[in-house]
Amino acid sequence: MTASPDLGSGAQPALPPLFPFAAIAGQPLLCQALLLAAIDPQLGGVLIEGPRGTAKSTAARALAELIDAAPFVTLPLGASLEHLAGSLDLGQAMAGHALKFAPGLLARAHGGVLYVDEINLLPDALVDVLLDAAASGVNVVERDGISHRHAARFVLVGTMNPEEGQLRPQLLDRLGLCVRLANVQDPAQRQAIVRARLLFDADPAAFRARHAGAQAALAAQLRTARERLQPAGALPWSDAVLQAAGALCIAAQVDGLRADLVLLRAARAWAAWLGDAEVTPDHVQAVAELVLVHRRKPGAPQPQPHPQPRPQQQSPQQAPSNPPSQSPAQIRPPAESTANGAGDSPPSEADWGAMPPEPVGLLRVAVPSLLAREAAKSGAPATKKA
């Protein structure tokens, strides 16, 4: 007979092994957005929109493993404001001691990843506090007779299914990056993803050992990218970069200047990930859709690509997603093709969809009054209507 575990011994149960970040396939934009947020947490986090079963939670949990000594904290839907931000330590207060602050989930997530599943179902008050701390890196508590602030530098990852409701535009704008996932339709890629998951479930240790080298390389590259952003004035950008970011934001018809600032920070983080010495318009173009997809006004044109894409990027004729064997460290977004083609004079909006004229046969219709008039002129009797 198998002995039951001693639940009262205080021993923590072993956590299930995590699916390695290096083994995630079929979602290059998701991996890119998570890496950018991990490089610069001040971007304001990542919102992942998509249907069920598209690796949203798997990728978020795997990201925390790439960051050195990073906690992974989950915010439940039923959490209160005190549970999230912290409050007065009632035990200390009732014992007659001095007022003491009891840390919340924001304090526990410092230096790691704070994961919010179904963020669109959270009360707006909690989302406001969450986004304030994610953008500023500081949690400020002013209530219950206490005034306290503490560091809260974490990577915010929120997921949602659009079928279950939307976030208010004001809250969407405060989330730095957004990825809109779709179901994988390529049969070969779909089979590769399912095969990898089955191998992991059958033997997690062997599967993780197989990807240990790629996982260590990703962690080292992430650590180096974070360090490259620390010195003041590191990875400068030129006026051309500012112009490229401003032009994309104007074309997207965004409100305010938050999109410009986030776009520049994301481009800087992407340059740090690639190991480049400075930020260029190519970096801006590479992260533009992650910054603008949830801020673009309906009907606004898609952002135009930079005229000289990086040679490492995929060409417009290549598939936009990575093959199953490609590591997230090799992610480089494809260059988008222009909407007007390669002609010297693009057509105007009024001519969009115009088709050349085609010859149409004419059908002669007999009208009784006209027949009678013609018959009178020719002297022939008019045909009577039956």
Catalytically active residues, by annotation: 258
Q: Which are the contacts of 60, defined by CB distance < 8 A and separation ≥ 6?
A: 34, 48, 113, 115, 157, 159
Choice between 209 and 233, residue whose per-residue pLDDT is larger: 209
Q: What is the pLDDT of residue 342?
A: 39
What separation in angstroms does the CA of 224 have from each of 14, 38, 40, 216, 230?
31, 12, 12, 12, 10
Kindly state the tokens that stand for 365: 């219709």
Given a cut of 70, whether residue 364 has pLDDT beyond it is no
Q: What is the pLDDT of residue 99?
A: 72
The distance from CA 174 to its chain's CA centroid, rounded to whole angstroms, is: 13
Write the pLDDT tens digit of every residue in 213-244: 999 999 999 999 999 999 988 999 999 999 99
Q: What is the pLDDT of residue 169?
A: 86
Q: For 178, phi and psi rounded to 5 degrees?
A: -145, 140
Given a cut of 80, whether residue 206 has pLDDT beyond it is yes
Mean pLDDT, residues 198-215 taken together:
97
The answer to whether the beta carbons of residues 144 and 35 sit under 8 Å apart is no
Given a cut of 50, whether residue 4 has pLDDT beyond it is no
Given a cut of 50, whether residue 13 has pLDDT beyond it is yes
Q: What is the pLDDT of residue 252?
A: 95
Q: What is the pLDDT of residue 323?
A: 37
Q: Which are the contacts of 211, defined by CB distance < 8 A and separation ≥ 6?
A: 20, 22, 23
What is the DSSP secondary structure assignment for residue 328, as one 8-state letter?
A: G
Write the pLDDT tens digit of every residue in 241-290: 999 999 999 999 999 999 999 999 999 999 999 999 999 999 999 999 99
What is the pLDDT confidence band of residue 353, given thresholds at 50, 70 and 90?
Answer: very low
Q: Which are the contacts of 17, defined by CB distance < 8 A and separation ≥ 6?
A: 204, 205, 208
Q: Which are the contacts of 99, defined by CB distance < 8 A and separation ≥ 6?
A: 88, 89, 92, 93, 145, 146
Give the range with max mean pLDDT: 108-117, 228-237, 361-370.
108-117
Write the pLDDT tens digit of every residue in 154-191: 999 999 988 888 888 888 999 999 999 998 899 999 99
